[in-house]
Homo-oligomer: A and B are copies of this chain.
Amino acid sequence: MNRKSSNKVMSAAEAVERFVHDGATVGMGGQSIGRCAMALTHEIVRQGIGDLTLVGCNLSMSMDLLVGAGLARRTECGTGNLERFGTAFRWRRAIEAGTLEVEDYSHLAMASRFLAGALGLPFMPSKSLLGTDILHKQMEGGSDSFRVIDNPWNPDEPVVLLPACRPDVSIVHAQKADELGNVVIEGFTTQEPEMVRASSSVIVSCEELISSEEIRRYPDRTTVPYIFVDAVVVQPWGSYPTSTYGCYEHDAEHLRRYQVCARSGGEAYESYLREMIHERPDFDSHLDGAIGEPRRRELEESMRRLM
């Protein structure tokens, strides 16, 4: 915890070293090909922090990298994919090979678990999952994470109870933050408002550091106030190759390239990890290798046209 600090700005290396530990449950920001915390994920891979439980609604490329790098023990999520770009292949293979524990939920069920954590509640009711094998096969398989009770006010109506999900640390990429740790997410916010509030520690990377003066001028726009945040990492393009709403589009070329490597696995995948992460001292160096200035301008321009 680093919440009692008036300047939380630090490098990704320092933030990950201080707040992500072996065996941690990590809340994954972003969704699909949008606003995934790629810079922070690279840093976890670089530092080789392992035995992680990854949690989120849709877990995408950032999760797949941690699984592919052998750093994940378990996932709890609603989906593992990159939507039109395909399944999260390292995740899929690890499940098929039996080397990764999974617990399946729906997106709303995971969001509900984070909501319970965010509100300090032990569990949240849900009307999803009823009548399905997500519930029944996992309960038969010994999972302790589901209860079905009767609605006390309508005794024949089953209601699911889901235990709160409280990550040890969440990693999130946002458009803006100030040095105190106030965070502004623009556009869609996925499960992040609840997940962040439910977490013991929170690392936010941002496209732009703004002044606390600006935060206080527009308090209706602050997504997460500083009392929930431990570290602010200033990292433009920090969600690359996924998009950041209002800043740049996803890079379809790089996503396809990753998916080719992830699908084949083996040396193709190892060399992706090596060239893109391990041989790079930091995320800026990764960006310099992965994407040139002209392509960056293109993706920015493409996003601008959609605003």
Contact = CB atoms under 8 A, between A and B. Distances in A.
Interface of A: 112, 116, 119-127, 144, 147, 149, 151-154, 157, 159, 161, 163, 186-187, 220-221
A187 B122 CA distance: 30
Contacts of A144: 153
A117 to B, nearest CB: 12
25 contacts: A112-B119, A116-B125, A120-B127, A121-B125, A121-B126, A121-B159, A122-B127, A122-B151, A122-B153, A122-B154, A122-B159, A123-B125, A123-B151, A123-B153, A124-B125, A125-B125, A144-B153, A147-B152, A149-B149, A149-B152, A152-B161, A153-B163, A186-B220, A187-B220, A221-B221
State the copy count for this chain: 2
A147 B155 CA distance: 13
A122 B119 CA distance: 18
A221 B147 CA distance: 37
A222 to B, nearest CB: 11
Nearest to A116: B125
Contacts of A161: 152
Contacts of A123: 125, 151-153, 159
A126 B119 CA distance: 9
A161 B112 CA distance: 16
A104 to B, nearest CB: 19
Contacts of A120: 127
Closest 8 CB pairs of A and B: A147-B152, A122-B151, A121-B125, A153-B163, A122-B159, A186-B220, A152-B161, A123-B125
Nearest to A163: B153
A185 to B, nearest CB: 9
A110 to B, nearest CB: 14
Nearest to A184: B220
A157 B161 CA distance: 15
Contact of A221 (B127, B151, B220): B220
A125 B122 contact: yes
A19 B48 CA distance: 61
Nearest to A112: B119
Contacts of A187: 220
A124 B119 CA distance: 11
A112 to B, nearest CB: 8
A280 to B, nearest CB: 34
Nearest to A223: B220
A120 B157 CA distance: 14
A193 to B, nearest CB: 12
A281 to B, nearest CB: 36
A121 B153 CA distance: 12
With a 10 A CB-CB cut-off, give which of A125, A151, A157 has the most chain B CB atoms. A125
A119 B162 CA distance: 15
Contacts of A147: 152
Contact of A157 (B122, B124, B127): B122
